[in-house]
Amino acid sequence: MMAAITAWASLNPSAPPPIPREELDQFDPELTGISSIDELVAILEAKAPGASAVEMLDLADALIRRRFFHSYSYFRFDQNWILSLLKPLWSDLASPVRPDDILKFRRAACSQQSIVLQAVASRLGLDYQSIGVNRPGHFLAAVRIDGRWWVYDADREIRVRRYPLDELLAGSPRLNSYYGPVVGLQLIAAAKAGRIQPRDLNRNPAPQASMLHLVTNFASRFGWLVLLLSWAILSLAVRRPASRVDPLLAPAFAE
């Protein structure tokens, strides 16, 4: 934890300068010690005591940019063997969607990083929602600040800390300055075609997967106990001795 706090002390909450996309991965291995939302929020509070909720959220965005590689993470066999075995059949099911699960990994996709930021927003008492982009596939977090919705995109490590959701939904040309011309034009086209949809106000965007992960996590850790108890009960039932005749009634049966 102290190593993570030391690394976090070097974070600059101001917006990063424009840099090429291929150089945008700001991953800092020192921050992998942050493995839960509780730890992440504790670091934010230690870094900026007395900061406003918005300042804390901006700091969280700066941290998340450095906490993860850009890629999906999947449960390993030793973490959840049930979902690990399901991965070849349906890889989405093996990808963590609960914030504390996501923080167990170095890698996180756009949806996973957004879920972590949303969890921080929830702790700070801020309204949040998910923004899905279809063609190109992308996922962003939006947070309501002083009555206006703002987009955070830690996954793409955009050139500003946040920008108004209105600009994304309208396909504003300013998106080019945030993302660069390639991704900016893709998002503008998606907005013009109505392929950007806000949803899931103040809730995890994958509630069913979250429940599946919770249940299978318990089963993969303790399911063997259930099997063992079932086997023991069945064994006792099969080996139960035959009913004995009451000695007082034995003569009657003898006749």
**Percent of the residues in the chain that have a pLDDT greater than 70, as a whole number:** 78
- Is the pLDDT assigned to residue 78 strictly greater than 80? yes
Predicted confidence at residue 13, as pLDDT, reads 43
Q: Could you give the CA distance from residue 86 to residue 213 in angstroms, rounded to a whole number?
A: 12
Predicted confidence at residue 88, as pLDDT, reads 86
pLDDT tens track for 150-182:
999 999 999 999 999 999 999 999 999 999 999
pLDDT tens track for 46-73:
999 999 999 999 999 999 999 998 889 9
Average pLDDT, the chain: 83
- Is the pLDDT assigned to residue 233 strictly greater than 90? no
Dump the DSSP string for 26-92: ---GGGGG--SHHHHHHHHHHHSTT--HHHHHHHHHHHHHHH-EES-----TTT-HHHHHHTTT-GG
- pTM confidence score: 0.78
For residues 185-207, give the mean pLDDT. Answer: 94
